[in-house]
Amino acid sequence: MIPIRSRRALLLFCSLAIPILSTGQTEGLRVGVAKADITPARPCMLGGYASRTNLSTGVHDPLSARATVFEHDGRRLALVSVDILGFYNETAEPLRNAIVDACGLQPAQLMLAAIHTHAAPIPVLAAGKFHPNNVDYTKTLKDRLVKVTKDAIDGLRPARIGIGVGASPVGVNRRERATDKNGQPLIRLGRNPPGITDHDVQVLQVRERDTDQIAATLFAYATHGTSLGGKNLVVSGDVLGLAEQFVEKYLGNGIVGPAFAGASGDIDPWFRVLPEIKTADNWIPEPVLLGTFLGEEAIHTSEGIRDFSPNGPVASLLKTIQLPAKADPQNPGQTNSPPLPFAITAARVGDVALVGLGGEVFNEIGRAIKDLSPFPRTIIITHCNGAAGYLVPARAYPEGGYEVKTTHFSPEASDAVIKEVASLLRQLKNE
């Protein structure tokens, strides 16, 4: 939790996108990309399931951090995708500060986002809170996040960007309707195909302007990284991480394929919480199957992009708003629970908007933001610059379920976030 005095200072400093002057400014857009390995060298506690009590036992596929830095007229935006669960245990601020300070960025110019895989180490910097290997891992992670962002900045060169939208059925609404032993309706985690789901695969391709070679293929998709469950103790990027790896292996030539988790608070992969990565009898492991399926759609979509722009602007806004807290279940009549912070980042690169939300956001909230956006394309990125937990629409509270039970926010919170994002996007549109 950021101290109140620090939060106020951060709000004041970050609510405007202030340009950074840079030597070597050029007309048009410049983009730099880089990738760093963040696979744990030693066994760690994996994040996402409270039932786990043992350290990881191996690595199925590597974890990476991928940085894409956009620059136009001296303004920069660093978009960093990290193959971990999220920035829990108060790690968002120190990791962000390390990158911002080392790279000459302003806080609003960094979108630090996790893909939310539940098969990566829990990030923690406070000694004694988790296994010491996790502390060591997170310190190493901080250094590598700084370096990968610096490398992307050092690699800035004239570029063009294009955007395309595909679709994939990999993600499915997980709020399954059932009944309890008394025949009363309830919501449990499962598979709910008729439920609200956004199948969009949004792809942002970066091409070097001088050679027309692909430098990066970024993509966003709404799904949890929960194809592997709590019994799995093997490190993996899960669906989104495996999709990144497929894209990069297929394209080759050092092309970077960062993924971002869309509004997926109530979305799981089609195959979910599996106990292991099954390979016996020629079985294709479900995470690999789903990751490949999603990666192939990202490639198909990128190949269909025809319009590329070398223009800006690049602009960004960061605002931490205070949201109403949910009443204490032990004191349901209590109305004076202090408000809770929620980080919102809004950015634009040319005519593409990016919205970073610091929590696990229900799919319909992301859809509402896209519908209200004044930009032709708006990419929703969750687990970005914070880890505030579930953000649930008001209509879901009477239904109950895991997300409603565990959210820290009241039913009014989601509308407040949508309203604030819409305001920030309008400001950016007038750049």
CA distance 359 to 108: 17
User: Is 5 inside a domain boundary?
Assistant: no
Q: In what order do the strands lie in the sheet with 214-221?
A: 110-114, 75-82, 64-72, 30-37, 157-167, 200-208, 214-221, 259-261
Task: Give the global pTM.
Answer: 0.92
Give the pLDDT band (50/70/90) at residue 192: very high
For the ranges 178-187, 332-341, 386-395, the lowest mean pLDDT is seen at: 332-341
310 within a domain of the structure (yes/no): yes
% the chain with pLDDT above 70: 92
16 within some domain: no
For residue 307, is pLDDT > 80? Answer: yes
Residue 291 lies in a domain: yes
> pLDDT digit string (tens) for 326-384?
987 667 666 568 999 999 999 999 999 999 999 999 999 999 999 999 999 999 999 99
> For the chain, what's the residue count?
431
State how beta strands 390-391 and 360-361 pair. parallel
pLDDT tens string 82-119: 999 999 999 999 999 999 999 999 999 999 999 999 99
Give domain status of residue 11, yes or no: no
What pLDDT shows up at residue 386?
A: 98
Give the number of other CB atoms < 10 A from CB of residue 398.
Answer: 8
The model's pLDDT over 121-143, given as tens digits with 9 standing for 90+, comes to 999 999 988 999 999 999 999 99
pLDDT given at position 332 = 61
Peptide bond into 411 cis (omega under 30): no
Residue 109 lies in a domain: yes
Higher pLDDT, 21 or 312: 312
Picking from 108, 109, 104, 107, the residue whose alpha carbon sits closest to that of residue 22 is: 104
Contacts of 403 by beta carbon, 8 Å cutoff, 6+ apart: 175, 265, 266, 360, 362, 390, 392, 396
- pLDDT band of residue 8 (cuts 50, 70, 90) is very low
What are the backbone angles phi and psi of residue 130, rounded to the nearest 5°? -135, -170
Q: Would you state the pLDDT for residue 16? A: 36
Q: Which amino acid is at 40?
A: P
Predicted local confidence at residue 9, as pLDDT: 39
Q: How many CB atoms lie within 10 A of CB 155?
A: 15
Place of tokens 């989104």: 240
Angle between helices 92-103 and 132-154 (to 10 degrees): 30
The angle formed by the CA atoms of residues 150, 94 and 361, to the nearest 5 degrees, is 95
- So what's the pLDDT on residue 403? 98
- Residue 52: name the closest of 231, 175, 250 by CA: 231
Instruction: For residues 200 and 223, give the distance between their C-alpha atoms in angstroms, rounded to a whole number.
Output: 11
**Domain boundaries, position 344:** 21-429
**Distance between start and end Cα atoms, the chain:** 32
- The answer as to whether 198 is a domain residue is yes
- H helices of 383-412, in order, are 402-406
Lookup: tokens for 67: 């940085």
Query: Collapsing DSSP states into helix, strand and coil, what is residue 68?
Result: strand
Q: How many domains does the chain have?
A: 1
Identify whether 382 is part of a domain: yes
Tokens of 393: 């629409």
Strands, E, within 50-191: which ranges? 58-59, 64-72, 75-82, 110-114, 157-167, 171-173, 175-179, 185-189
**Would you say 309 and 350 are in contact if contact means Cβ atoms under 8 Å apart?**
yes
